[in-house]
């Protein structure tokens, strides 16, 4: 029997693959099973002094994802002896990743794409894992899809359960059980009661904040490095554009040090209210960077310093976003920025540092299959790569223990 801790991007696919192979799986998830449209109620409160977005529920942060499906860090991982190209192909097929049809591009996104093109900046449609036939554009992807049109890891957990995997939700893994250098199970808290579950194979996928904390408790020095793909949203007023209700991040500009993607933020409308703007008048770009691994996670704190390089990349992205917004007709006097935020925590138990190329830690039978293992910040949506690493691990587990 294999225990999988966490049911998000990393935890769901390995649970499904093991269940498909007939291996008994126990999935232990801290959050409850919820309707996708309620996902915004399950955001965690942010750490003091920083704005880090993630959710606690079955399916993890994939429920609030924008549905962006990019292949990231593929060549970097290959250079480290971890080839995930086949798994990425398989996942892109399974999730039907591709651009949305023209019917699903709103006025604001089209204006931004045309303005970028007229400035000679290459812009493409964002590949999405959203079923366009079910999607009625509403701008609510990151609140949880009201139409259930977006793939989420909860779909794979349901498939795994159909194949016999046992989902134990609303149960927090508090500790790992280790004996003679080998993992022997996990300690959980359910309804204020402590219970031990035994297993000689434990896959950690509770995300890049919880994984290092569990590893630290068993003496592994995880969490000394941390990235979050820092982002800001820069925007201004374009009267009656109605951008807020469009599919967010439906286009993509890839530059060397950052990406840009059309994005609405309520932080912009809060600040622009004093200039008479309503939500329907706001248009903007997200600027997302490959931040340095300058953060850390310990049992009490998550910390991320924006290094000089991080600030430079954000400033370069803001400058480009401003130029495109002005070309789109936004009054430069109205252009403002949000504070820096993060939605892709990772790098806290990196491959080549704390896990080997099979994602195994120094404790035999204890593996990591979430964003913790990413060796560096992708500066772009990581779900497909986390899933591909996890799927690759499932093949290793099946060949070793199946």
Ligand X SMILES: Cc1cc2nc3c(=O)[nH]c(=O)nc-3n(C[C@H](O)[C@H](O)[C@H](O)COP(=O)(O)OP(=O)(O)OC[C@H]3O[C@@H](n4cnc5c(N)ncnc54)[C@H](O)[C@@H]3O)c2cc1C
Q: Contact residues for ligand X (CB under 6 A)?
A: 5-11, 28-31, 53-54, 56-57, 60-62, 64-68, 142, 172-173, 205-208, 210, 343-344, 370-371, 381-383, 386
Crossing angle of helices 107-118 and 308-327, rounded to 10°: 100
CB of 186 to ligand X, least distance (A): 8
Q: Which residues of 175-210 are buried (b: 16+ CB within 10 A; e: fewer)?
A: ebbbeeeebbbbebeeeeeeeebebbbbbbbbbbbb
DSSP type of residue 5: E
Comparing every residue's Cβ against ligand X, the nearest one is 8
C-beta closer to ligand X: residue 76 or 114? 76
- Give the chain's radius of gyration (CA, Å): 21
CB of 240 to ligand X, least distance (A): 26
C-beta closer to ligand X: residue 171 or 306? 171
3-class DSSP state of 87: helix
CB of 54 to ligand X, least distance (A): 5
C-beta closer to ligand X: residue 28 or 335? 28
**CA atoms 175, 177, 178, 184: torsion sign:** negative
CB of 239 to ligand X, least distance (A): 28
C-beta closer to ligand X: residue 66 or 113? 66
CA angle 269, 275, 279 (to 5 degrees): 30
CB of 67 to ligand X, least distance (A): 5
Contact 260, 314 (CB under 8 A): no
C-beta closer to ligand X: residue 68 or 230? 68
C-beta closer to ligand X: residue 57 or 314? 57
C-beta closer to ligand X: residue 236 or 381? 381
Contact 256, 234 (CB under 8 A): no
CA-to-CA distance for 322 and 336, rounded, in angstroms?
A: 9
CB of 173 to ligand X, least distance (A): 4
CB of 347 to ligand X, least distance (A): 11
CA-to-CA distance for 5 and 168, rounded, in angstroms?
A: 10
Outline where 4-54 has alpha helix (H): 9-20
Closest alpha carbon to 16 in 136, 127, 221, 164 = 164
CA-to-CA distance for 172 and 159, rounded, in angstroms?
A: 22
C-beta closer to ligand X: residue 259 or 320? 259
CB of 255 to ligand X, least distance (A): 19
CB of 381 to ligand X, least distance (A): 3
3-class DSSP state of 95: coil
CA-to-CA distance for 82 and 355, rounded, in angstroms?
A: 12
CA-to-CA distance for 102 and 258, rounded, in angstroms?
A: 26
C-beta closer to ligand X: residue 284 or 322? 284
């Amino acid at each position: 029997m294999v225990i999988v801790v966490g049911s998000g991007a990393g935890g769901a696919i390995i649970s499904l693959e093991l269940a498909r192979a007939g291996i008994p799986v126990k999935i232990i998830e801290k959050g409850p099973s919820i309707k996708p449209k309620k996902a915004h109620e399950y955001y965690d409160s942010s750490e003091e002094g920083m704005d880090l977005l993630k959710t606690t529920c079955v399916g993890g942060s994939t429920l609030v994802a924008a549905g962006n499906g990019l292949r990231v860090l593929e060549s970097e991982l290959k250079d480290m002896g971890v080839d995930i190209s086949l798994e990425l192909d398989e996942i892109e097929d399974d999730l039907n990743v591709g651009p949305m049809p023209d019917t699903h591009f709103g006025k604001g996104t089209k204006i931004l794409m045309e303005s970028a093109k007229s400035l000679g900046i290459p812009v493409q449609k964002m590949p999405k894992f959203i079923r366009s036939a079910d999607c009625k554009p509403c701008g609510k992807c990151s609140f949880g899809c009201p139409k259930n049109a977006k793939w989420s890891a909860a779909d794979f957990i349901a498939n795994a359960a159909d194949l016999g995997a046992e989902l134990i939700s609303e149960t927090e893994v508090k500790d790992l059980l280790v004996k003679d250098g080998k993992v022997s199970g996990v300690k959980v808290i359910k309804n204020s009661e402590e219970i031990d579950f035994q297993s000689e194979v434990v896959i950690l996928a509770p995300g890049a904040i919880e994984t290092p904390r569990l590893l630290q408790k068993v003496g592994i020095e995880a969490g000394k490095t941390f990235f979050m793909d820092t982002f800001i949203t820069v925007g201004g007023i374009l009267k009656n554009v109605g951008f807020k209700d469009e599919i967010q991040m439906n286009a993509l500009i890839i530059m060397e040090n950052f990406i840009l993607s059309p994005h609405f933020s309520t932080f912009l409308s809060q600040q622009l209210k004093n200039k008479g703007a309503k939500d329907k008048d706001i248009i903007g770009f997200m600027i997302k960077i490959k931040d340095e691994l300058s953060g850390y996670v310990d049992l009490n704190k998550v910390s991320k310093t924006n290094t000089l390089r991080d600030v430079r990349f954000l400033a370069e992205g803001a400058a480009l976003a401003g130029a495109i917004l002005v070309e789109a007709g936004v009054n430069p006097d109205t252009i403002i920025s949000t504070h820096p935020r993060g939605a892709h925590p990772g790098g806290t138990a990196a491959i080549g540092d704390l896990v080997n190329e099979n994602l195994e830690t120094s404790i035999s039978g204890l593996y990591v299959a979430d964003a913790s293992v990413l060796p560096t910040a992708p500066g772009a949506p990581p779900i497909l790569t986390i899933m591909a690493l996890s799927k690759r691990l499932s093949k290793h587990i099946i060949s070793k223990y199946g």
